[in-house]
Structure 1
Amino acid sequence: MKTKTNAPAAPQSTGLSANLTPEQAAEILGVSPYTLSNWRVGKRQPLPYVKLGRLVRYRRADIEAFLSSNLVSDL
């Protein structure tokens, strides 16, 4: 008699992989992590971030929206 083995369930995506560290966000934006820190503290740029305890994370969608909103076209 063959017994049925349950395969492990595939991990469900929580969307957390879309969260970026300041270093990752800085690389995408072409600035230093120090610059991102200055933007956060001084509220110099409207770039949303997520605070998880003492950790700071940036959502990929917010980075893309920030880049789009700063697009300059000379047309």
Structure 2
Amino acid sequence: MTARPDYECDAEADLVGKRWLTRKEAGEYLGVHPRTLANWAADRHGPRYSKPSGKSCMYRLADLDAYLEMHMVHTEEQPEAA
């Protein structure tokens, strides 16, 4: 998984105001290819998603943030918060 930069690019800033993101938008937000999200979904892991139409996947921004938080790596320089 590619780490997100600490700054917000214009594309990401546009996504933050949305509650639900398409797979493409979710991939941009996470810094992974949309096909990676599709593979994760097929393997039954990755961030939570909804299939309101039965075909296309939609991702809640809160679920993407929770997924990133669950996969946070803490180093000696940045210990986990108590």
- Equivalence for 1:70: 71
Q: Aligned pair count? A: 58
Name stretches of at least 5 consecutive residues in structure 1 with no aligned partner.
1-16
User: Which TM-score applies when normalising by structure 1?
Assistant: 0.72
Residue identity (%): 36
Structure whose residues are more often strand by fraction: 1
RMSD (Å), alpha carbons: 1.0
Which runs of at least 4 in structure 1 moved beyond 4 Å after TM superposition? Answer: none
- Equivalence for 1:4: none
- Equivalence for 2:39: 38
- Given the alignment of the two structures, is residue 55 of structure 1 paired with residue 56 of structure 2, yes or no? yes
Amino acid at match of 2:67: F
User: Which TM-score applies when normalising by structure 2?
Assistant: 0.66
Which has more radius of gyration? 1
Name stretches of at least 5 consecutive residues in structure 2 with no aligned partner.
1-17, 77-82
